């Protein structure tokens, strides 16, 4: 490159400027003071209360840019409990509670009964991944989970066993947690803000499967329903697995009878029990080959 090259940059890249700063020969009270650090290299500065809007923007931009670079066109999002055991672990869950209280034994038995949903989550992720749908040069229905254990692990494992990459959107929590080993490393993303994480779950979502879960699953499920109900988000297939579980926990019909939702709102989601049920709903919605 010469100074006469019209394509040459007239300003240095930030990484080059950083190297200039690191090569500075003088170490003085001025250069050693935190105030002298380049703002984008000053972690203490970036973590200040006043910088929250900047951190919001960073958590919006980084995943968006990485997913664009990975040619992810759309996602198949899968929500569900972090506590449901795999079929292989179901009996161990019951055995571990055998000396516990009656309540603990009951909980263990109920969780073990739900192990079939781990299997269905795995099957759905594998089935969708094996379709290998490409449009406009981008991969469609890329499996995306919360990156954790149980149902989330089943989703990423299903995609991995199909030879496909998958996304894990983890969140920093006070207790120790880490991505499951089936998430594609360069698509393993971590968040500080729940709001930004939930936004990224839905920005590319073209179908969402919801399995039995707790507060987190409820939060994600009802926010999705609200976005579609209010017209803030265009309808997509919402696949609700485990009718016995959900109708025991929530009386959807009663909500309509009380007038707090419309009866037609109960048509926003589809009941499913198997991976094949779910894919059939997706294929019908998008007029794809079943």
pLDDT at 2 over 70: no
Q: Residue 123: its pLDDT value, please?
A: 98
Task: Give yes or no for residue 289 having a pLDDT over 90.
Answer: no
**57-105 tens-digit pLDDT:** 999 999 999 999 999 999 999 999 999 999 999 999 999 999 999 999 9
Residue with tokens 């105030």: 35
Instruction: Name the token pair of 259.
Output: 């007038």
pLDDT at 212: 98
Q: Is residue 3 part of a domain?
A: no
Q: What is the pLDDT of residue 54?
A: 96
Within a domain: 20: no
136 torsion bin: left (phi>0), alpha (psi -120 to 50), beta (else):
left
Counting the structural domains of the chain, the total is: 1
pLDDT at 31: 84
Q: Is 24 within a domain?
A: no
**44 within some domain:** no
- CATH number of the domain that residue 261 is part of: 3.40.50.450
Give a yes or no: residue 35 inside a domain.
no
| Maximum separation of any 2 CA atoms in the chain, in Å | 81
Local confidence band at 10 (pLDDT 50, 70, 90 cut-offs):
confident
Identify the residue with better confidence: 26 or 104: 104
Instruction: Answer yes or no: is pLDDT of 266 > 70.
Output: yes
Residue 13 lies in a domain: no
Classify residue 259: in a domain, yes or no.
yes
Q: Which two structure tokens, joined as six digits, stand for 145?
A: 């989970």
Of 253, 249, 260, 192, which is closest to residue 217 (Cα–Cα)? Answer: 249
Would you state the pLDDT for residue 57?
Answer: 97
Res 3: pLDDT = 66
Q: Domain range holding 86?
A: 61-286
3-state class (DSSP) for residue 234: coil
Whole-number percent of the chain with pLDDT over 70: 98
For residue 164, is it within any domain? yes
Could you count the other beta carbons within 10 Å of the beta carbon of residue 166?
Answer: 27
Q: What angle do CA 122, 127, 129 make, to 5 degrees?
A: 95
Q: How many C-beta neighbours within 10 Å does residue 279 have?
A: 24
């Amino acid at each position: 490159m010469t100074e006469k090259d019209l394509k040459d940059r007239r300003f240095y890249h930030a990484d080059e400027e950083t190297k200039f700063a690191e090569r500075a020969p003088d170490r003085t009270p001025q250069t050693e003071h935190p105030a002298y650090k380049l703002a984008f290299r000053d972690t203490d500065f970036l973590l200040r209360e006043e910088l929250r809007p900047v951190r919001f923007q960073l958590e919006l931009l980084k995943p968006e840019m990485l997913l664009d670079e990975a040619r992810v066109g759309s996602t198949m999002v899968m929500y569900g409990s972090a506590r449901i055991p795999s079929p292989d672990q179901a009996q161990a869950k019951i055995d571990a509670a055998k000396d516990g209280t009656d309540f603990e034994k009951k909980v263990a038995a109920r969780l073990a009964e739900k192990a079939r949903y781990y299997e269905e989550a795995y099957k759905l992720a594998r089935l969708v991944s094996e379709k290998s749908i490409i449009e406009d040069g981008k991969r469609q229905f890329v499996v995306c989970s919360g990156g954790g254990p149980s149902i989330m692990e089943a989703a990423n494992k299903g995609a991995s066993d199909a030879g496909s990459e998958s996304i894990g959107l983890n969140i920093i929590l006070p207790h120790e947690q880490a991505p499951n080993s089936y998430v594609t490393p360069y698509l393993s993303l971590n968040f500080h803000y729940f709001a930004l994480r939930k936004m990224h779950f839905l920005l590319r979502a073209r179908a969402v499967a919801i399995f039995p879960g707790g507060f987190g699953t409820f939060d994600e499920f009802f926010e999705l329903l609200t976005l579609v109900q209010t017209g803030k988000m265009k309808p997509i297939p919402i696949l609700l697995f485990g009718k016995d579980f959900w109708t025991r926990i929530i009386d959807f019909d009663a909500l309509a009878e009380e007038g707090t939702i419309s009866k037609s709102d109960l048509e926003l989601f589809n009941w499913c029990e198997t991976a094949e049920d779910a894919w059939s709903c997706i294929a019908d919605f998008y007029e794809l080959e079943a």
